[in-house]
Amino acid sequence: MRSILAAAFTFMLCVALPACGRDDASRAERDAEIQKKIQEGMQREKQLYEGMQKGSENIQKQMEEQSNKPGK
């Protein structure tokens, strides 16, 4: 009985282990999709940062203009 269970377990292992590596194509697709999403996120973050920088520059210009106005 013990040898039958050992043989069955060995057979199942021999069948199951090679099946684990067959998913390389979908893994590559997932990796490419993840890389694409990361790059899109980085582009959005860069645009957000540039917008914040421009807004800061505009505020500085407005403050300088207000401080340079005569009459105050």
Report domain extents, the chain. 33-61
Residues 30-67 have pLDDT tens digits of 999 999 999 999 999 999 999 999 999 999 999 999 98
The confidence band for 69, taking pLDDT boundaries of 50, 70 and 90, is: confident
Higher pLDDT, 54 or 21: 54
pTM (two decimals): 0.52
- The half-sphere exposure of 7 on its side-chain side, counting CA atoms within 13 A, is 4
Q: Is the pLDDT of residue 1 over 80?
A: no
- pLDDT score for 28: 86
